[in-house]
Amino acid sequence: MIANVVVDIPSKNVDKIFDYKIPPDIEEIVKVGVRVEVPFGSRKIQGFVINISEQLSSDIDMSKVKSIIRVKDFKPELTPELIKLSEWMANFHLVKRISALEIMLPSAVKAKYQKIYQVNDPENLPAHILNRFNKEGILTFDQAQQSEIVTDLEGYVKSGQLVKDTIVGQQLTKKYATCIRIMPTDRLDEIIESLHKKEKQLDILNYLIEHRNEDVLLKTLKEEGFSNSSINTLVKNQVLEKYNSVVARDPYENRIFEKEHNKSLTNDQQHAFTQINEAVQGNESTTFLLHGVTGSGKTEIYLQTIENVLEKGEQAIILVPEIALTPQMVNRFKARFGDEVAVLHSGLSKGEKYDEWQKIRDGKASVSVGARSSIFAPFEKLGLIIIDEEHESTYKQEDYPRYHAREIAIWRSEYHQCPVVLGSATPSLETFARAEKNVYQYLELPERVNKQKMPEIELIDMREELKEGNRSMFSEQLKQAIQERIDKNEQVVLFLNRRGHSSFVLCRDCGHVPQCPNCDISLTYHKTHDDLKCHYCGYSEPMPQLCPSCESEHIRQMGVGTQQVEEQIYSTFEQAKVIRMDVDTTSRKGAHEKLLTAFGEQEANILLGTQMIAKGLDFENITLVGVLNADTMLNLPDFRSSEKTFQLLTQVAGRAGRHKKKGEVMIQTYNPEHYAILDVTKNDYLSFYQKEMKFRQIGKYPPYYYLVNLTISHFDKTKVLKAAKHAHDILIQHVSSKSFILGPSPSPLSRINNQHRFQILIKFKSEPDLLTALQYLDDYYHEQYVKDKLSLEIDINPQMMM
């Protein structure tokens, strides 16, 4: 038998299928989807079996075909569907097959390679060398380097006393726990009889007999009320024995979720539920757009539809855009479905994520809740895929391999013949346009579930505040509204989409602004460590006391970030208690949930944060939302800047007045006439959509045209220019006159990490030969990258233009 294997080398040169013989002794366990260790040249590497056949896939001589060394999995890590999906991704997204396969797996199962020296002839090795090796006769190359004996060892390799090898391991560490079991015996009846007067010991024995087919944790026995002394006595008398067993890590093991039952649906909810459920029952690969205002009960529809999916014996995936949204979503799903739910997001440790993923693979979980990468959850009977807040750009992977979760979801829905639900209060223009053309089925929830009115939204012109001499971050109206909420013991959400203390530092005498030496961007001031940081390459330097250019003392922090706003809140409002949520405060594991729980338990009356607080939060005591500067995204060099501004402001405004208390929203802006901001105040998505679509049509942007963005980067600007011209010339030959090629031109961020960056933007409607040209460029510049680190990034349907 022959195994077709994709090897774990992320290189274009070996981005193909290799044939390996399957030794007869492991034929039973080599299955499609398992990882295997194979010889490749002079080394051993990991590979994925993607097919098994009786014939070779090429004309190579059978005598030259090598054999698989060993199998690394008892069960396949990948399903046949995911292997097929990786082939589609490799072609559509121009990614290497191994990169597509590896992104589907949790990082804990990725291969870890170690070069080693192994003892071959121990009798002829000097004792001082032999003592360096472990019991198995192995010494790692790293250990040899640290001991500075590599040269000596190489001599013993040449003479045959040692051999060099590569161990293919993995980064997975297992969690063990102490378990208790009855020692094997044929005298069990006698033992039970002898314990008839020792009730406590007898109870333990009966409990273990009842659970004899499972691992019983020592911890569980103690929780059941059995005493440590009784257990130890039975162990001492050799009736019971302790042993270690691998246990799954459950990030929610210490949490109790109160059972939640179905809520009654409104007429609009019932209509949407019926339409989606019909597609579930009819096995239809329909894509729905569920367009519901904030607070309209989209999550309840998700829950009730998933319940029907589970009753049908199928599984469901629900995606959320950020970790910040996960805690509240997890609470609702765990409360409804309990242990059926597996959670997959980057806030978990490697081990926890692997164990949750394994629950799905082994069929112990039927619902997956998580961020972008959980779209690859290895379910084999998918009945429903839901993408909540579908407009969010975080569903697009911005680094290699680039993919959009929505595209993967639609591919999987066609494979499984199941529906996809795209939910949002502010759908992306591309999605809404497809719904208008009946490519997607449109479902609307125009009202909040409790008939609660949408919050009143007031625009505050900060230009007028400046004229009145108010230079603080708070207008007089917002300041007064915050104080009223504090006095009433109500809660406030304040939104500013800029972290740090100050956005930049400026010398008022000469105008000098400290720049990052590696990137064409100004440094951001962070007060916590009193330093200036670059948010692109991580460079930092101390805050200067004097201007580095003219040595003036008049160097000041300009612009405002969340850190500075927090200080201003405390200096302005005496009774304020602030929880700040941004990248700086949520970097530790579990920080999102901890902060949101604290706010939900009213340990603070003001929640201040960046866009991570704009979506998904549902607290009944929030009656005021303040947007401190609505203009931060409007002026970005991105054709989606107006759309992102409208979406973000609508989402954050929706946090107010979601329950019985009336909500109010105040938006501070220097552009009160801008249509994106005005339409937020009217809560009028359709009006914004129609205006924005006109600009998209004039500018030839999505959804009227597709986009491909090519970014070329290198330390040498001349080489970047030459490569950009070459790429442009190739594209011209393969693209018709109906399409547009813009550039090459400097990227909006023209230098990051000392690499100069130029970009080429292609706008097209249908170009059959374009993929061929892009494939050629991808192959050609892969060679250039290997030789000279000249990089070409190809982004199909880009979300970020920076």
Nearest to 339 by CA among 369, 303, 364: 364
Is the separation of the CB atoms in 496 and 519 below 8 Å?
no
Which pLDDT score is estimated for 309? 96
Residue 430, Cβ neighbours under 10 Å: how many? Answer: 16
Which pLDDT score is estimated for 759? 95
Which pLDDT score is estimated for 62? 82
Token digits of residue 314: 């199928």
The Cα–Cα gap between 607 and 323 comes to 17
In the sheet with 240-247, reading across from the earlier edge strand, the strands are 216-217, 175-182, 240-247
Residue 49, C-beta contacts closer than 8 angstroms, at least 6 positions apart: 3, 4, 5, 30, 31, 32, 33, 34, 35, 36
Give pLDDT tens digits for 400-429: 889 999 999 999 999 999 999 999 999 999
Residue 261, C-beta contacts closer than 8 angstroms, at least 6 positions apart: none
Which pLDDT score is estimated for 185? 79
Q: Confirm or deny that 179 is annotated as ligand binding.
A: no
pLDDT at residue 325 above 60? no
3-class secondary structure, 488: coil
Q: Is 435 exposed, middle or buried (0-12, 13-18, 19+ CB in 10 A)?
A: buried
pLDDT at residue 249 above 70? no
Q: Confirm or deny that 418 is annotated as ligand binding.
A: no
The Cα–Cα gap between 724 and 741 comes to 12
Token digits of residue 609: 């944060």
Return the higher-pLDDT residue of 203 and 420.
420
| Amino acid identity for residue 249 in this structure | R
Residues 711-728 have a mean pLDDT of 95
DSSP string across 515-541: B-SSSSSBPEEETTTTEEE-TTT--EE
The Cα–Cα gap between 21 and 1 comes to 6
| Amino acid identity for residue 58 in this structure | S
pLDDT at residue 311 above 90? yes
What are the φ/ψ torsions at residue 442 (nearest 5 degrees)? -95, 130
209-226 burial, b at 16+ Cβ within 10 Å, e below that, comes to eeeeeeebeeebbeeeeb
Residues 213-228 have a mean pLDDT of 85
The Cα–Cα gap between 215 and 287 comes to 44
Which pLDDT score is estimated for 365? 92
Of all residues in the chain, the percent with pLDDT exceeding 90 is 43
- To 10 degrees, what angle do helices 641-653 and 685-699 make? 170
By residue count, the chain amounts to: 802
Q: 243 falls in which pLDDT band (50, 70, 90)?
A: confident
H helices present in 370-511, as ranges? 405-416, 429-436, 462-467, 476-487
pLDDT at residue 254 above 60? no
pLDDT at residue 111 above 80? no
What are the φ/ψ torsions at residue 156 (nearest 5 degrees)? -70, -25
H helices present in 282-363, as ranges? 298-311, 326-337, 350-361
The Cα–Cα gap between 755 and 714 comes to 5
The pTM assigned to this predicted structure is: 0.80
Which pLDDT score is estimated for 323? 65
Q: Confirm or deny that 534 is annotated as ligand binding.
A: yes
Which pLDDT score is estimated for 507? 87
Residues 366-388 have a mean pLDDT of 94
768-797 burial, b at 16+ Cβ within 10 Å, e below that, comes to eebeebbeebbebbbebeeeeebbbbbbbb
Q: 616 falls in which pLDDT band (50, 70, 90)?
A: low
Tell me the CB-side half-sphere exposure of residue 140, using CA atoms within 13 A.
Answer: 9
Give pLDDT tens digits for 776-798: 999 888 888 878 889 999 999 99
pLDDT at residue 168 above 70? no
The Cα–Cα gap between 103 and 107 comes to 8
Is the separation of the CB atoms in 735 and 727 below 8 Å?
no
The Cα–Cα gap between 588 and 88 comes to 36
The Cα–Cα gap between 797 and 430 comes to 11
The Cα–Cα gap between 799 and 393 comes to 6
Q: 324 falls in which pLDDT band (50, 70, 90)?
A: low
Is the separation of the CB atoms in 608 and 586 below 8 Å?
no
Is the separation of the CB atoms in 457 and 649 below 8 Å?
no
Q: Which domains does the chain have, with CATH numbers?
A: 2-111 (3.40.1440.60), 112-170 (no CATH), 267-445 (3.40.50.300), 456-500+561-695 (3.40.50.300), 706-796 (3.30.70.360)
pLDDT at residue 607 above 60? yes
pLDDT at residue 528 above 90? no
Measured at the alpha carbon of residue 533, what is the angle toward residues 531 and 538, in degrees to the nearest 5?
130
- Cα–Cα separations (whole angstroms), residue 34 to 83, 89, 261: 11, 20, 40
Which pLDDT score is estimated for 611? 81
Is the separation of the CB atoms in 756 and 750 below 8 Å?
yes
Of all residues in the chain, the percent with pLDDT exceeding 70 is 95
- Cα–Cα separations (whole angstroms), residue 318 to 108, 123, 352, 368, 694: 22, 61, 19, 6, 33
Mean of all residue pLDDT scores within the chain: 87
Sign of CA dihedral 359, 361, 362, 363: positive
Token digits of residue 342: 């597996």
Sign of CA dihedral 635, 641, 644, 646: positive
Give pLDDT tens digits for 70-102: 888 778 889 999 999 999 999 888 889 999 998
Q: 148 falls in which pLDDT band (50, 70, 90)?
A: confident
Nearest to 594 by CA among 586, 602, 605: 586
For the chain, helix (H) and strand (E) counts, in that order, are: 24, 33
- Residue carrying structure tokens 């979720």: 257
Query: Looking at residue 502, what DSSP letter applies?
Result: B
- To 10 degrees, what angle do helices 326-337 and 591-600 make? 80
pLDDT at residue 47 above 80? yes
Q: 206 falls in which pLDDT band (50, 70, 90)?
A: confident
Please tell me the least confidently modeled range out of 254-268, 509-523, 553-567, 659-673.
254-268
The Cα–Cα gap between 153 and 177 comes to 40
Residues 510-523 have a mean pLDDT of 90
Give pLDDT tens digits for 756-778: 999 999 999 999 899 999 999 99
pLDDT at residue 298 above 90? yes
